[in-house]
Chains A and B, each alone.
Chain A
Amino acid sequence: MSSGRHLAKGSPTPDVPEDGILRLYSMRFCPFAQRVHLVLDAKQIPYHSIYINLSEKPEWLFEKNPQGKVPALELVREPGPPVLTESLLICEYLDEQYPLRPLYPRDPLKKVQEKLLIERFNAVLGAFFKASDGGEIEPFWNGLDVYERELSRRDTAFFGGEQTGILDYMIWPWCERLELLKLQRGEDYNFDETRFPQLSLWLERMKRDVAVMAFYMEAEVQAEFLRTRSAGKPNYNLLVKDA
């Protein structure tokens, strides 16, 4: 079972028990991988996490997953076994295959409206990356306006209603990183609570969510990882406790 150590080129195949439990190929600092962790944890689906060094990917990763993509979910009990990629598609599969604690609404119209909002967030997360990289921050705030309006319109604790739903989890990884943005931009960071009153409350509720807490990372650690990556030597194993 991976202790959080990211496996790199030359490493042997991971020492994971043949126990029929799902295997998630992941990376501790990847927001897309985080989406899958959130769904697995929210639905209480057991899984093994195998963390991958994305700069020097282990050879064996490509045997199961020819494109070497992360996140990737290996469905060990199925013939093959098949490996699913694309964070949104993995999450949809999990919600369909494991019907307890459904995250997508059942009604086709309500479901498609969630999908549209998830799809629309692509532009927002793009704006986040630019802001995190020293670009303008305003486009990111403009993107969040849509979600503030939507949450206000729904008038519920979460986008999913009184409980978290798929939209809450699909956008969470970038919302968690607001603290990171604050650290990176310092004085320049201008998150306005009066512009985002509902989202501000939602942020605090989400931080207390069990699935969110399972993968939550302090901004300082995120920032340190990114700093090492910019320096050309990404330190994937920042969180690994050496025995």
Chain B
Amino acid sequence: MATLKELFAKYKYIFSRRSNKKKKQSVEMGAENPLTKGSTHPALPDDGAPRLYSNRYCPYAQRAHLTLNAKKVPHHVVYIDLVNKPEWLVDVSPLLKVPALHLVGEKSKPSLIESLIIVEYLDEKYPQNPLLPKDPLQRAQDKILVERFNAAGGALMNIVLQGEGGVGLLRVFDIFEEELAKRGTPYFGGKKPGFLDYMIWPWFESLPVVKYFLKERYSFNKQRYAKLTAWVDLIVKDEVVQSHYATPEQHLTYWKSRKAGQTNYDLLA
């Protein structure tokens, strides 16, 4: 007759074996050599995990990475050359857009596009570490602010390609400086980063690129943006941000070569 102690020890063994089951491996393809024209679609594990078609320096794609990582959603990543897109991209992203999240685990295997649509889907499908607030009004207000921030998205390309557009970018930053002051918390999401923080972060990570191309006209400074500067210093250390971080040098090298018509991905080795 087993004692209670023996029974407990037996069941503890079984439970610990279950949790030690081999964790699914996340696969990442094309980090150094993004898939380009003439390539074949890489072989990915047939495990039902969603596949993110991305570009290492696309801020919109970065939103999807941050969300997947924040919620620890098992997924695989394929990096794409945006200048010379592989022919097979149309099979997984019919409008050739990146980011695209291919839900191979679903019956119809749909592909989701548009960074905000992908992020909202993930936040609803995977309830752990919710990024959007629960309250409908706060959700709406956060989404409206992200819509306003979208003006900055286009501004980055203008700045790189034409060296202009700084004013538009700063006007958007003014709104967010004011909002952060109003909220009175270290992050837009409160005590820890949330939806708004991760949706705008990619552009702040690329600020050194803006500085380089705007030169003397660059005026993102501590005086005008005290709250945002503190926020940048804080959030850069966040483990989710660090999970998909590229240094200023890497960003600069990419955008310089993109401007020059070539791309150089061999930066993250």
Answer yes or no: do A and B interact: yes
Residues of A in contact with B (beta carbons under 8 Å apart): 75, 78, 82, 84-86, 89-90, 92-93, 96-97, 108-109, 111-113, 115-116, 119
Bound-state CA distance A84–B144 (Å) is 8
Interface centre among B112, B117, B140 (most CB of A within 10 A): B140
Q: Which residues of B contact A86 (CB under 8 A)?
A: 143-144, 147
Bound-state CA distance A208–B204 (Å) is 50
Kindly supply a per-residue 1/0 record for chain B positions 106-144, scoring 1 wherever the CB is within 8 Å of any chain A CB and 0 otherwise: 100010111001001100110000000000110111011
Q: Does B103 contact A (CB under 8 A)?
A: yes
B137 touches A75 (CB 8 A): yes
Interface residues on B, range: 10 to 19
Interchain nearest-CB distance for A58 vs B (Å) = 22
Interchain nearest-CB distance for B99 vs A (Å) = 13
B106 touches A109 (CB 8 A): yes
Residues of B in contact with A (beta carbons under 8 Å apart): 103, 106, 110, 112-114, 117, 120-121, 124-125, 136-137, 139-141, 143-144, 147
Q: Which residues of B contact A97 (CB under 8 A)?
A: 136-137
Bound-state CA distance A113–B125 (Å) is 13
A116 touches B147 (CB 8 A): no
Bound-state CA distance A78–B136 (Å) is 12
Which among B121, B136, B140, B143 is the interface contact of A112 at CB below 8 angstroms?
B121
Bound-state CA distance A156–B227 (Å) is 52
B143 touches A89 (CB 8 A): yes
Q: Which residues of A contact B124 (CB under 8 A)?
A: 108, 111-112
Which among B106, B112, B141 is the interface contact of A116 at CB below 8 angstroms?
B112
Bound-state CA distance A82–B121 (Å) is 26
Q: Which residues of B contact A84 (CB under 8 A)?
A: 140-141, 144
B125 touches A93 (CB 8 A): no
> Can you list 10 A-B pairs, Cβ within 8 angstroms, ordered by A?
A84-B140, A84-B144, A86-B143, A86-B147, A89-B147, A92-B143, A97-B136, A97-B137, A109-B103, A111-B121
A119 touches B114 (CB 8 A): yes
8 A-B pairs with the lowest CB-CB distances in the bound complex, closest first: A96-B136, A93-B140, A108-B124, A112-B121, A97-B136, A108-B125, A115-B117, A89-B143
Q: Which residues of B contact A119 (CB under 8 A)?
A: 114, 117
Q: Which residues of A contact B147 (CB under 8 A)?
A: 86, 89
B137 touches A109 (CB 8 A): no
Bound-state CA distance A108–B114 (Å) is 16
A96-B136, A109-B106, A112-B117 known; 12 new pairs, CB 8 Å cut-off, are A75-B137, A78-B137, A89-B144, A89-B147, A93-B140, A108-B124, A109-B121, A109-B125, A112-B112, A112-B124, A115-B117, A115-B121
Chain A minimum-CB-distance residue to B112: A112
B110 touches A113 (CB 8 A): yes
A108 touches B121 (CB 8 A): yes
Interchain nearest-CB distance for B56 vs A (Å) = 25
A82 touches B113 (CB 8 A): no
Chain B minimum-CB-distance residue to A96: B136
Bound-state CA distance A164–B40 (Å) is 43
Bound-state CA distance A115–B112 (Å) is 10
Interchain nearest-CB distance for B152 vs A (Å) = 16
Bound-state CA distance A97–B125 (Å) is 20
Q: Which residues of B contact A92 (CB under 8 A)?
A: 140, 143
Q: Which residues of A contact B121 (CB under 8 A)?
A: 108-109, 111-112, 115
Interchain nearest-CB distance for B222 vs A (Å) = 26
Interchain nearest-CB distance for B122 vs A (Å) = 9
Bound-state CA distance A55–B251 (Å) is 43
Bound-state CA distance A78–B135 (Å) is 12
Interface centre among A82, A92, A109, A111 (most CB of B within 10 A): A109
A93 touches B117 (CB 8 A): no
Bound-state CA distance A27–B103 (Å) is 40
Bound-state CA distance A178–B61 (Å) is 37
